[in-house]
Amino acid sequence: MGGDVRVRDAHRESVRVALVELEWYKQARIGNIHVPENTGKYLAATFEHDTARPVDGYAAPQLHTHAVIFNMTISENGQSHALQERSLFQSQQYVASVYRSELALRLQELGYEIEIGRHGQPEIKGYTQEYLDASSPRREQIKEHLQEIGREGAGATQVAAHRTRDKKQIQSQEAVLQRHRELAAQFGHQADRVVAQARERTQMRQQQPGKTAQQSATYARNHVFERLAVQDERTSLQ
């Protein structure tokens, strides 16, 4: 909403780094009594979306990427095999941590102030909770359904997401953006202010390079520990 295309670039690069890291945990299913073989090879197609599924006709802004992984890999002898799905699912938390760490550091380098959310996700400071809630009707829709059925957890959330989603609607990019701008105007165009402050911090840091390095090191020390801890766990599982 603030027009900073650097944020989209930061997201794309963070996705790329996470998917490359996933190569370490790709295994071929050999079959019978043979143990899976670590191949480090896989094929994936990525699809970038910038809105959530519509709720009552409103497609909220939500930049995200779907990575579709093909169920095949190549073993050391050159033969193709199906992937061992166990290793893939065990790596989900680690890959999510890699993405979040990469994104948080890149956003901070762009001048944004970052705080860590309840589930470990990086969040940009400067937005009121009222605006975030209004901009996330899909999240609220899922939460309301979970409360109605008295369930919680990742599995229940996934089921709720499928049960409550509206049909996709074909809308022009201009129409979607206009709805986003109308909502932003109701809350004082917070994105414009956040982006302007980030660019101002970037200029100040360019004039104080030593301080920038210190801030980055401090942030990495305080927040990337989650990624390292999960990496140790993934390494021991192999």
At 188-234, the pLDDT tens digits run 999 999 999 999 998 887 776 655 555 555 555 555 545 555 555 55
Q: Which of the four pLDDT bands, split at 50, 70 and 90, describes residue 78?
A: confident
Cut 0.85: pTM above it:
no
In contact, 94 and 231? CB cutoff 8 Å = yes
Pick from 68-77, 110-119, 209-218: least confident = 209-218
At 20, the amino acid letter reads V
In contact, 107 and 124? CB cutoff 8 Å = yes
Give the count of beta carbons closer than 10 Å to the beta carbon of residue 93: 14
Dihedral in degrees, nearest 10, Cα atoms 56, 58, 59, 61 = -130
For residues 35 and 201, which has the higher predicted lDDT (pLDDT)?
201
Instruction: Give the residue ranges of DSSP H helices in the chain.
Output: 5-22, 85-90, 92-109, 129-134, 137-149, 154-164, 173-186, 190-207, 209-223, 225-237
Burial class (CB in 10 A: 0-12, 13-18, 19+), 25: buried
Q: 137-149 and 154-164 are packed helices; what angle lies between their axes, rounded to 10 degrees?
A: 110
Q: Is the pLDDT of residue 135 over 70?
A: yes
CA 48 to each of CA 5, 8, 28, 89, 234: distance values in angstroms, whole numbers, following the listed order: 14, 10, 28, 22, 27
